[in-house]
């Protein structure tokens, strides 16, 4: 165990080498971050609002890996992402914003996983639900999650933005994620 991970929970250690995400534009991220801060300050302390695109990496990336990932991203045209309404996962009390279009996001997710840089045994693609988490640790029961979802529905959280890049984020020794590299999508 590296000194960097001292005191980390096992689930946190799996994220040591980072993950790939879509990092929403500042104004949207700040709006979602405010909700995360209010309803789940623990998650917000780890990472700002994002859309996860990969399972955790299983190693540090080398230049050949980066080249392969950049090639993947260059083949994907920028696309519009729509977010909202709030939803709750069926099997766990997590409140999130739905993210669309699912087909493009799932395709990108599967393409990333196919290059074998990620932890073994990723969930099947049909289990991948594109989303932006609002509360993961802030609600403890399904009932609390449903109440929060209903409260958020009343303030109508939704919008859209153009996704033109993929971000690589990695935790520091305090388990706070930040962007380490951005890979642009195809320029039209």
Does the pLDDT of residue 123 top 60, yes or no? no
Mind listing the pLDDT tens digit for each residue in 89-105?
988 899 999 999 998 89
Q: Return the CATH fold of 16-182.
A: Cyclic Phosphodiesterase; Chain: A, (3.90.1140)
pLDDT score for 57: 87
Mind listing the pLDDT tens digit for each residue in 38-84?
999 999 999 999 999 988 888 899 999 999 999 999 999 999 999 99
Distance CA(87)–CA(89), nearest Å, equals 7
pLDDT score for 136: 93
Our CA angle for 25, 101, 46, nearest 5°, is 45
pLDDT score for 116: 67
Arithmetic mean of pLDDT over the chain: 90
**List of residues 6+ apart from 34 with CB closer than 8 A:** none
pLDDT score for 161: 97
User: Of residues 55 and 8, which shows the higher confidence score?
Assistant: 8
Question: What's the alpha-carbon Rg for the chain, to the nearest Å?
Answer: 16
Q: Average pLDDT, stretch 171-188?
A: 91
**List of residues 6+ apart from 175 with CB closer than 8 A:** 8, 12, 46
Label residue 2 by pLDDT band (50, 70, 90): low
pLDDT score for 3: 53
């Amino acid at each position: 165990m590296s000194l960097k991970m001292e005191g980390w929970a096992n689930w946190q250690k799996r994220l040591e080498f980072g993950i790939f995400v879509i990092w929403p534009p500042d104004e949207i991220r700040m709006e979602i971050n405010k909700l995360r801060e209010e309803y789940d300050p623990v998650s917000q302390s780890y990472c700002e609002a994002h859309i996860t695109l990969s399972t955790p990496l299983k190693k540090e990336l080398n230049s050949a890996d980066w080249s392969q990932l950049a090639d993947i991203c260059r083949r994907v045209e920028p696309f519009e992402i729509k977010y909202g309404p709030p939803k709750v996962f069926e099997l766990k009390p997590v409140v999130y914003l739905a993210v669309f279009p699912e087909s493009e996001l799932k395709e990108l997710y599967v393409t990333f996983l196919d290059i074998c840089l990620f932890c073994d045994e990723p969930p099947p693609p049909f289990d991948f639900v594109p989303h932006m988490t609002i509360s993961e640790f802030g609600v403890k029961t399904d009932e609390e999650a449903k109440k929060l979802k209903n409260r958020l529905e009343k303030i109508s959280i939704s919008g859209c933005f153009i996704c033109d890049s993929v971000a690589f984020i990695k935790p520091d020794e305090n388990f706070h994620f930040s962007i380490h590299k951005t890979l642009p999508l195809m320029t039209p």
